[in-house]
Structure 1
Amino acid sequence: MYDSLLMNGLNLLHTLHTSNIKRGSLKISYQARVNKKKLFSKEEIHVKFLFDMFLIIIGTAILAALFYYVCIKPMSYWRERGVKQTDPIWVFGDNWMTATKKESFLDFIIRCYNYYPGARYHGVYQFLQPTLLVKDPELLKKITVKDFEHFTDHRVLISEDSDPHFGKNLFALTGKKWRDMRPILSPSFTSSKMRAMFVLMSKCAEDFTNHFLKKDQECIEMEMKDTFTRFTNDVIATTAFGIKVDSLEEPNNKFYLMGKETTDFSGFWKSLKMTGFFLVPKLLQYLRISFLSRSATQFFSELVDETIKTREEKNIIRPDMIHLLIQARKGIQQKEENVGVDTGFATVVEADLGKGKMKEITNMDITAQALIFFFAGFDAVSALMCFMSYELAVNPDIQAKLRKEIEDTLSGCGKEITYEALLKMKYMDMVMSESLRKWPNAVATDRVCTKPYVIEPTNPEEKPLYIEKNTLLMIPIVGIHRDPKYYPEPMRFNPERFSDENKGKIDPFTYLPFGLGPRNCIASRFALLEAKVVFFHLLSHFELVPVEKTPIPLKISKQSFNMVAEGGFWLGLKRLKK
């Protein structure tokens, strides 16, 4: 025992001694290096200085070149091709005002549209992305219909890899994947399916109206966006998921809260993420930053999984999108059936793309389609309702005329509205068509050139324009809808534009609230029917009136990417005296 302690002590002394020698050597070595530096000549120091400066200059030049090619050169893309263009700002392009919250997205589109009056097209810049803004109706017809094979896709901002629940939806799909999925989903939105869904929608509208009838108030003041999103939430819950929800009676139900979270783009971080998807989409894809929150995707994934499991176990059949996708997974496809009266002037025609056939349809594919359906139905349709209710409130003569048609329709169908009776209401359709003209749900849409294309000149100022593959095109919907060349006094709300005498004069390529060509909105019938149902029930019992908080004239918020009113859509429901 003592021997081992002695040996350990000797080893310790040896280690300490050795380390002292090494430290001494280090000191000598360091001193030698210092002395050596003192031996450098002035010429050597001068050469080293010049070499360091050379490296700094080279590095600066490389950074300047990178900045030029990434941030400055793209801003002259259209000028180099002989195309008129805007005056973009480095990095931000024409989006500087929207990025700094000084301009709404709607105003951005109108500003870009009016930059060169009379031009068929001109160049704009969405951040670093050169974009050809196309506004001539004949050219739009060629691009979106006649030569559709050259422009089949939308711009992809969110890839399947970074967010499969959003990247796999119908709007985001490209090429063959889109062509296979569209015919599978189309039968969900035929007029025959709408007739089947009408009963469910009408019940939601009755519950919605009864909620306010129970209130002992002559005039109920409310924010319409919050109110109408609760209605659209309940309609989607019952028509798509088979779930009974009453979001007015149960304001904090999980289905509504998840919908609100999914469609809310206000706030600094959400706005920053949205800007990132436009500015540096590849970086966000590389970092796998998802568009939807984890809680929302988990909620809807579990909901769809449970819905599919329940339906398959209990053999439940409902006329909705989830049922069609379950059938398609089994190799069964239904035919499209459009019969009887259609949902209105704004309804788009479905293109014949043949039969869709996907190698495999997973639960995630079904969830992705249900999510985009929910996303559009929750936010876009409620926006239509908000703008229409505002226009009716500030134009009481139009509201009175519409209410007269509602009363006449009710008396003609035994005090209970039917699908056919609702869709035969001409003035209702005129009011809705004018709402969508002045306040389109999507203020713009896009196309990506998938095959090289040449725009032939039609006037002396133009020359053939070669469109490269992957070039982005913008269709400025709200700009066209508010062009006095097509709609005199565009800011005047005038449903008579869509009367039987006038609607035949409208060029279909100047009225595009649901898009154009085969990539138009698949759910136009659903949206129109849902909006007509709720206004029929609501105006049967209430008058929409302005209140103190009502912004007149209405201005679009600059703080949100969504189409919402600055200060909110505040209106009053004034109980009718029977």
Structure 2
Amino acid sequence: MWILLAVAVLTALGYWILNRRHAYWIRKGVPQLKPMFILGNMWPMLSRKRSAPEMAQEMYNSGEGSRYIGTYQFLRPALMLRDPELIKQITVKDFDHFLDHVGFIDPDADPLFGRNLFALNGMQWRAMRSTLSPTFTSSKMKSMFSLMSQNGEQFVKYFLQKNQDVIEVEMRDVTSRFANDVIANTVFGFECDSLKEHNNEFYTMGKVATDFTNIRTILVFMGYILLPKLLKLFKVTFFSDKMTSFFGRIIKENIESREKYGAKRPDMIGLMLEARKNKHSEDDHTTLPDTGFATVEESEVGKNQKLRKSDITDDDITAQAFVFFFAGFDSVSSLMCFMAYELGVNQEIQQKLRDEVDATNEKCNGKITYEALTTMKYMDMVVSETLRKWPNAIATDRICTKPYTIEPKTPNEKPVHLDKGDVISLPMYPIQRDPQYYPEPERFDPERFSDENKNKIKPYTFFPFGLGPRNCIGSRFALMETKLLFYHIISNFELIPVEKTQIPIRFNRKAINMAAEKGFWLGLQRRVK
């Protein structure tokens, strides 16, 4: 009898504690979405009734009329911001209160993921960001341009050699192979041809790393949200030991080879090796055209706080190289897939881009240059609109690193006192599809980013590469890589829908990212010149 009573009391207490967690925003005077026991607001995605981006859009729309809305990622409260001015306040003006991203993987358990630039916190992040920033300036992009362009030429040559007028391709497969070769070349110093060497180890590892439908990946991802301390206790890693050892070995061999032969390359590993020797590479400050409207500017935060020689380990170099490989393989190839899709189903837009590509090709005598690519206005408009409609991530986050108060701006608001550890969600995908900022948001319209219109875009409603000092360090790299590939594709092929093309795209509800339900099938039709 007493045992049953004790169990009942403990059960009731546990239920009360868990339910109290879901009243967190109510206690702070914040309107919130109705959470489900333990699962919070995650049930639509877990039950596959909604895809991850659809769920985020639904949350955002539920807060209509409010500057913010309280949500729950299982038991973890997260405040979704809906107001551009408030987003600016938190990501830029009061950045020192929101310095970090949410901790995800314990660096001691998984150094490959936990020690990369995205995951680092505080002064460690500042120092690493400052050390890596010179790798991604305009002048460094120009120095990498020829390597990337060679990869683009290699890409189209592979398909031109096929004796077919229309070649049916799954764009996720072929663009991830291109992105793999670019990263291998410009970051790791390895030459690959993943279209010919179909199962090379670099590509195979990238494929595994970015499989967001893998059940282990999903369970670990959710485990670190739901039971982070338990997973840290057992040192559960996001990536397999095989993957960690592969990238560790590649970097170690790369470093040993460079140091043995004194080889120098203008890439990220080379820059970090210089920093380890206390020989920081400085940018030459040459005035060059930038890579496009979506390019984010580097903040002054931490510019003079580079890592000391003793602070940079092989694990640090491996972690930074891997995160750029990971981002290049997945995020950049996603941008390319969505852009290819939109050009394929909007033939008049593709024709306008083709006219610009042909005119540029003629000016360059058939050999594209960095300066010519960066002055292609319509190309930049198409890329920008792709990023608007299909951003690289559904949302990004910040964590409150010291107490902060959101002051009321409307009669129905009260001061919202945020505590250290509170999570802020910045909804890229939903806000960039909000009709009050982008009329007819489902329509693909590059003219939104014309010279006449782009200044009308409300600040802090377009942030595909993030905002403030913690924006994406690789925006120039991603934009140049994407434009180069499409320059070479459009020069030689027309992108056309095929029988397998899903129109319109529907999201894969089994994935935790923006994956297409039936892939990105298109035809490459050889141009008749």
Instruction: Please report the TM-score for the alignment, with normalisation by the length of structure 2.
Output: 0.98
Residue matched to 1:253:
200
| 1:371 alignment partner, one of 322, 336, 339 | 322
Report matched runs for 1:461-480 at 5 Å: 461-480=412-431
Aligned with 1:510: secondary structure? coil
Cα separation, partners in 2 of 1:546 and 1:255, compared to 1, 3 Å: same
Q: Does 1:385 align with 2:332?
A: no
Q: What do residues 257-307 of structure 1 show as CA deviations (whole Å, max 9, x unaligned)?
A: 111111112233332222212221221111111001111111110000000
RMSD over aligned CA atoms reads: 1.0
Matches of 2:83 and 2:230, distance apart in 1:
35
Secondary structure of the corresponding residue to residue 493 of structure 1: coil
2:299 counterpart residue number: 351
Distance 1:155 1:190 in 2: 27
Structure-2 residue corresponding to 1:202: 149
The 10-residue stretch of structure 1 (372-381 or 71-80) with the greater mean CA deviation from structure 2: 71-80
- Correspondence list, 1:24-423, <5 A: 53-69=1-17, 71-336=18-283, 337=285, 339-352=287-300, 353-355=302-304, 356-358=306-308, 359-423=310-374
Distance 2:457 2:294 in 1: 12
2-side partners of 1:139 and 1:61: how far apart?
43
Alpha-carbon distance in 2 for matches of 1:331, 1:229 = 35
Q: CA deviation at 1:216?
A: 0.6
Q: What's the CA shift string for 1:5-47, capped at 9, x where partnerless?
A: xxxxxxxxxxxxxxxxxxxxxxxxxxxxxxxxxxxxxxxxxxx
Contact 1:164 1:368 in 2 (8 A): yes
| Conservation of the 8 A alpha-carbon contact between 1:190 and 1:338 | no
Q: What letter matches 1:199 in structure 2?
A: S
Question: SS of the residue aligned with 1:114?
Answer: helix
| Equivalent residue number for residue 398 of structure 2 | 447
- Does the CA contact (< 8 Å) of 2:68 and 2:83 recur in 1? yes
Letter paired with 2:364: C
Asked if 1:545 is matched to 2:484, the reply is no
Secondary structure of 2:311's counterpart equals coil
Q: Distance in 1 between matches of 2:126 and 2:265?
A: 25
In structure 1, runs of 5+ residues without a counterpart are 1-52
Deviations 1:303-324 (A, max 9, x none): 0000001111111111111111
Corresponding letter in the other structure for 2:40: G
CA distance in 2, matches of 1:172, 1:306: 25
CA contact (8 A) 2:394 2:513 kept: no
The answer as to whether partners of 2:466 and 2:472 remain within 8 angstroms in 1 is: yes
In structure 2, C-alpha distance between the alignment counterparts of 1:341 and 1:483, rounded to whole Å: 31
1:485 aligned partner: 436
TM-superposition CA deviations, 1:342-386 (whole Å, max 9, x none):
000000000012222344211000000001000000000000000
| 1:537 aligned partner, one-letter code | H
Report how many residues are paired. Answer: 525
Instruction: Tell me the SS of whatever aligns to 1:540.
Output: helix
Which structure dedicates a bigger proportion of its chain to helix? 1
**Which string of whole-angstrom CA distances, capped at 9 and with x for unpartnered residues, describes residues 83-112 of structure 1?**
100011011111112122332111111111
Q: Does 1:575 align with 2:523?
A: no
Structure label with greater radius of gyration: 1
Q: Deviation of residue 140 (structure 1)?
A: 0.8
Residues 1:556 and 2:507 aligned together: yes
Q: Structure 1's 566 and 338: CA in aligned 2 closer, same or farther, altered over 3 A?
A: farther
* 1:141-185 CA-partner distances (Å, limit 9, x unpaired): 110001000000000111112211110000000011101110000
**Partners of 2:517 and 2:157 in 1: CA distance:** 29
Contact 1:99-1:275 within 8 A present in 2 as well: no
3-state SS in 1 of match to 2:425: strand
Shift of 1:338: 6.3
Q: Provide the C-alpha distance between the structure 1 equivalents of 2:129 and 2:459, rounded to a whole number of angstroms.
A: 23
Amino acid in structure 2 at the alignment position of 1:56:
L
Measured in 1, the distance between the counterparts of 2:528 and 2:373 equals 23
**CA–CA separation in structure 2 for the residues paired with 1:100 and 1:292:** 25
Q: Is the 8 A contact 1:311 1:317 kept in 2?
A: yes
Answer whether contact 1:134 1:140 (CA < 8 A) is retained. Answer: yes
The 8 Å contact of residues 295 and 475 in structure 2, kept in 1 or not, is answered as yes
Q: Does 1:515 align with 2:462?
A: no
Return 385-394 or 117-126, whichever deviates more.
117-126
AA partner of residue 287 (structure 2): V
Instruction: Give the residue type in structure 1 aligned to 2:526.
Output: R
One-letter amino acid matched to 1:346:
A
CA distance in 1, matches of 2:226, 2:199: 35
Contact kept? 1:151, 1:447, Cα under 8 Å: yes
Runs of 4+ that moved beyond 6 A: none
Query: Residue type matched to 1:354 in 2?
Result: K
2:171 alignment partner AA:
M
CA contact (8 A) 1:133 1:475 kept: yes
TM-score by length of 1: 0.90
Q: Deviations over 1:51-104 (max 9, x none)?
A: xx12320232123212321x2111111112211000110111111121223321
1:55 maps to amino acid: I
Q: Which amino acid aligns with 2:24?
A: Y
Displacement after TM superposition at 1:414 (Å):
1.2
User: Aligned partner of 1:139: which letter?
Assistant: L
**1:363/1:282 CA distance change after superposition, 3 Å:** same
Q: Cα deviation per residue 1:448-501 (whole Å; 9 max; x = unaligned)?
A: 000100111111011111111110000001111000110000000000000000
